[in-house]
Amino acid sequence: MRALIVGLLAGWSALVGGSLAWNLHNEARQTLDVATREARVHFNKDYSFRRWGTRHGGVYVPIDERTPPNPYLPDMADREVRLPSGRMLTLMNPAYMVRQMMDEFSDAYGVRGRITSLRPLNPSNAPDPWERAALEKFARFEVDEVLELVTIDGQPQLRLMRAMITEPGCLKCHAAQGYQAGDIRGGIGVTLPMDGFYAIQAKAERAQFTTHGAIWVVGVAGIAFAGSRTRRRLEEEVEEDRQFRRLSHHNELILQSVGEGIVGIDPHCVITFFNPAAEHLLGWSADQVRGQGLSKLLLCGEGGDHFCPGDGKGCATIHSGKARQTSTERLLCADGRELAVSLRTTPVVEDGEILGAVVVFDDISERLESERLTGELMERLTRSNRDLQDFAYVVSHDLQEPLRMVSAYLGLIKRRYSDRLDKDGVEFMGFAVDGAQRMSRMISDLVDLSRVETRGGEFAPVDMNQLVAEVLVVLSLAIEEEGGQVRVEGTLPPAIGDRGQLIRLMQNLVANALKYRQPGQPAQVVISGHQDDGRCFYSVADNGIGIAPDNHQRIFVIFQRACDGEVYSGTGVGLAVVKRIVERHGGAITVESEVGQGSRFTFDLPALG
């Protein structure tokens, strides 16, 4: 017993220690994750400022001591301009502007940003050893981001750097260095102090130590208490075992035949044995029921009538000598409750003589409760589906109506008052109209996505050749406008599915193939299909702009797109709807594509027959 308690204490200590170590590891990982996210936020800020400056070719500002003319661009045209008032302005190129913003931000908040290059125009932008190592990795195309915890002047810092790609706007200053658009020109970095993050981590670690220490103490006390009780219980069981050995041979056969929850009866259906499990489940003591008829405990019929000798399932076992089993019966508890059980009766036979029977029962209350809860869950799921349908109605009607009103009035303002607005005002009005229309399309697409499961039709045989023909009729205007060609290769095998959803699926894929064509080239779309092992596989291939392998999974996520939204319109919901439709039909959709090499979307549906 002592060895058991020592083993339990050792196991408990190891468990709590392991949990503490795991939680400390998680705290450290979470600290790094939070710091990394913040570093990337600062990087995105700096990168956005740089791109803004690059797109606008820099900004003109008054010349002062802090912002003199850029000495490293002496030959740049229009580096200084004179206003009609006579005031001189100097051009801050993007790097000059962002560096000054980074210095001010570092002074105010302690987060230091850097723009650096292996060939800087400004010597102050020369890389330090860590930055140089990162830039060399970028130059070798090994990585596009470097993230590392370092120590600077004895202080922990998180350093992040990403490659800086040369854009057309950069060539105004850097074309003389031989750079071309798309080249890696350097890197944008962020250095984030970790002191504050580590302080929060230390506080969380102290809480973990305190919590686990308390849990360990409670566990040790519980083990000690349980050990004491177990020892007393073992002593009691030893005494009970001595009494048990004096029981008759009849009771020994009962114990050998079955496990727990046992009631033994003699040939007259009188209870001779009542095990501890039965006492615990029913609340009767063995002394209370021993010598009583089985009808005292076993109920039957809707009215709760008792079994009588020779007329019940237990007694019938004795009379027939055959085992019997029922899945749901009721036993009477000492407090008047009825306990739901599964009941098995087995005859006890010795030398061909039926000495009685063993009645074994299991408490199925939890199972029945689980079935009840399952029914309630299904009812809640049904209500949830109804709520989802109501939500789809609200989105499609109650939200669309205000948007239509906004779009209508914005269009009216644009038509009536455009001559009173300046160029920016007209442009802003156009942005507002486009935004409202885009929101309307997004809401419609979201409604379609939500209705894939809730508003789906019945599955039925579908002639895919006829379905594709209908889709091409719908898209005929788009095909003509794009100057494209769509052809079906061979004969498409018939499938089983929701015809309306399959039309939407095929229409989305073909429309995307037409939309994302190569500039200056007519779209060429080929639809094909074949049947294999009870499934029909269909492909929609094109010669369009293609998709980078890193985006092959992301394009099927709602609102995720792999192309420039300013060039190709869309909401990022279409392929999510396609994927949901395919999955509703028990299939999967994949894409094979390389940038500039076109795309092939393949999906499978249940085959007919």
> Sign of the CA dihedral 247, 253, 255, 261?
negative
380 and 330, same domain (yes or no): no
pTM of the model: 0.37
Any idea what the CATH number is for the domain that residue 299 is in? 3.30.450.20
Yes or no: say if 573 and 442 are a contact pair by the CB < 8 Å rule: yes
**Rounded distance between C-alpha atoms, residue 265 and residue 347, angstroms:** 10
Residue 486 falls inside a structural domain: yes
472 and 546, same domain (yes or no): yes
290 and 408, same domain (yes or no): no
Give pLDDT, residue 257.
47
Question: In this structure, what are the phi and psi dihedrals at residue 351, rounded to the nearest 5 degrees?
Answer: 55, 40
Residue 328 falls inside a structural domain: yes
**Rounded distance between C-alpha atoms, residue 454 and residue 230, angstroms:** 56
Residue 354 falls inside a structural domain: yes
Any idea what the CATH number is for the domain that residue 462 is in? 3.30.565.10
Residue 444 falls inside a structural domain: no
Domain boundary among 328, 363, 398: 363
Give pLDDT, residue 329.
79
**Rounded distance between C-alpha atoms, residue 521 and residue 599, angstroms:** 15
pLDDT in tens, 484-537: 899 999 999 999 998 888 988 898 899 888 888 888 888 899 999 999 988 999
Any idea what the CATH number is for the domain that residue 55 is in? 3.30.450
166 and 79, same domain (yes or no): yes
**Rounded distance between C-alpha atoms, residue 463 and residue 578, angstroms:** 19
465 and 402, same domain (yes or no): no
Domain boundary among 194, 213, 229: 194
Residue 207 falls inside a structural domain: no
318 and 405, same domain (yes or no): no
Tokens read off for 576 = 């999510």
**Rounded distance between C-alpha atoms, residue 207 and residue 13, angstroms:** 18
161 and 285, same domain (yes or no): no
Residue 5 falls inside a structural domain: no
598 and 466, same domain (yes or no): yes
**Rounded distance between C-alpha atoms, residue 590 and residue 444, angstroms:** 25
343 and 374, same domain (yes or no): no
β-pairing, 495-497 vs 524-532, is unpaired
pLDDT in tens, 180-220: 888 888 898 999 999 988 889 899 889 889 998 999 999 88
Yes or no: say if 113 and 106 are a contact pair by the CB < 8 Å rule: yes
Residue 390 falls inside a structural domain: yes
Other C-beta atoms closer than 10 Å to the C-beta of 603 total: 24
Tokens read off for 339 = 């306990």
Chain-wide mean pLDDT for the chain? Answer: 80
490 and 428, same domain (yes or no): no
pLDDT at 258 over 70: no
pLDDT at 309 over 70: no
pLDDT at 538 over 70: yes
Q: Which of 570, 574, 479 is CA-nearest to residue 523?
A: 479
Domain boundary among 363, 390, 425: 363
pLDDT in tens, 50-96: 888 778 778 888 988 888 888 877 777 778 888 888 888 888 877 77
**Rounded distance between C-alpha atoms, residue 595 and residue 544, angstroms:** 9
158 and 63, same domain (yes or no): yes
Point out which residues pair with 305 in neighbouring strands.
300
User: Among 133-142, 254-263, 460-469, 528-537, where is mean pLDDT lowest?
Assistant: 254-263
Q: Which domain holds residue 418?
A: 369-436
Phi-psi region of 191 (alpha: psi -120 to 50; beta: other; left: phi over 0): beta
Residue 251 falls inside a structural domain: no
331 and 386, same domain (yes or no): no
The total of structural domains in the chain comes to 4
